[in-house]
Amino acid sequence: KAWWDGLLAPTWPGQINGAAGGRGAGGGAPSPQWVSWEAATVDKQAFAALGRADVACVLVDPSCQERELRRVCASVREHAGGGVCVLPASHAHLAPAVASMGLLVHHDGRPHGCLGSMLMGMADRQGVVRELQTELNARQGAQRQAQQLVSKVDGELVLAAKLQREVMRSDDLTVPGIKIGILYRPAWYVSGDVYKFLRIDEKHIGGVLADAMGHGVSAAMYSMLIANSTTMKQTGTHSYRLIPPFESMEKLNHLLLQPDSETTRFATAV
């Protein structure tokens, strides 16, 4: 307090709101609130005081150890958002380290009016800084929510891709004179392109290739509908009938034209 009242208050460049909410009588300087070095790193009340302060001023004793100085500066940076560190000549070499932790450096011995100007300038900007911090916190919160949503959608799309490949999975078809090879690389997780090959009986293999209208998930769901709805065999109690390709396409076309949606659906297929 003697340091403040005797050296800094008389040279204070103007009147600002003090950290403790009052104003001193010496030259309009604010009334400071003091936090001990020990409390600055462990005490919750000290953390709260730093959080309410417009600006923090760290006074370094010549006997202070570097490790202790770093802890205090880190605490001030975390809870007050920044401040000014007054370094004695014996600690001048630590100025870069203090600056790297977000604090301004004032070397003891320089005019105290300069220190007062630094403190007043930081206090004047604190309102804007707090508004920016509030906006930043809100944006970071929105970003975290967006990341969680993207992660959830990503997991669902991976599952959808697996299901689509299950629907299109073809059995190991071995037919003399015929070889079936498949290379399927969708541009995204899922695709509107669909294929399906299956054995109908001992003498026949059925296959369908289709491209559904659209892109992404909607087209993929449409393509899966096409794959599951393409019938090539009609089974009775003791017999079965092969469905000719034209009849199979006719049945599929009739299904896709059912008036259960306001959206007209298209697909090309063979």
User: What pLDDT, in 10s, does the model give residues 233-255?
Assistant: 999 888 899 999 999 999 988 88
Q: Residues 151-178: what's their mean pLDDT?
A: 81
Note the pLDDT tens digit of each residue in 57-113. 898 988 888 899 999 999 988 888 788 999 998 899 999 999 988 888 999 888 888
Asked whether the predicted pLDDT for residue 262 surpasses 90, the reply is no
Q: How confident is the model at residue 147 (pLDDT cuts 50, 70, 90)?
A: very high
Q: Which residue has the higher pLDDT, 28 or 49?
A: 49
Q: What is the pLDDT of residues 180-233, one digit of tens each?
A: 788 888 888 888 888 888 888 888 888 888 888 888 888 888 888 888 888 889
- Per-residue pLDDT, averaged over 124-149, amounts to 87
Residue 18 has pLDDT above 60, yes or no: no
Pair 73, 98: CB distance under 8 Å? yes
Band of pLDDT at residue 21, cut at 50, 70 and 90 = very low
Query: Which two structure tokens, joined as six digits, stand for 176?
Result: 């003399």
Q: What is the pLDDT, as a whole number, of residue 242?
A: 93
CB 112, CB 86: distance < 8 Å: no
Whether 165 has a pLDDT exceeding 70, the answer reads: yes
Please report which confidence band the pLDDT of residue 140 belongs to, taking 50, 70 and 90 as the band edges.
very high
Rounded to a whole number of angstroms, the CA Rg of the chain reads 37
Per the CB < 8 A criterion, the answer to whether 42 and 70 are in contact is no
Q: How far separated are the first and last CA of the chain, in Å rounded?
A: 90
Contact between 14 and 121 under an 8 Å Cβ cutoff? The reply is no
φ, ψ of residue 86 in degrees (nearest 5): -95, 110
Angle at 122 between CA 119 and CA 128, to 5 degrees: 155
Long-range contact set of residues 247-256: C-beta below 8 Å, sequence gap at least 24: 252/226, 255/229, 256/226
Counting residues of the chain whose pLDDT is more than 70, the rounded percentage is 92
Q: Report which secondary-structure segment, H or E, holds 73.
A: helix 66-80
Q: Which residues contact 157 (CB under 8 A, 6 or more apart)?
A: 189, 190, 217
pLDDT above 90 covers a percentage of the chain that reads 13
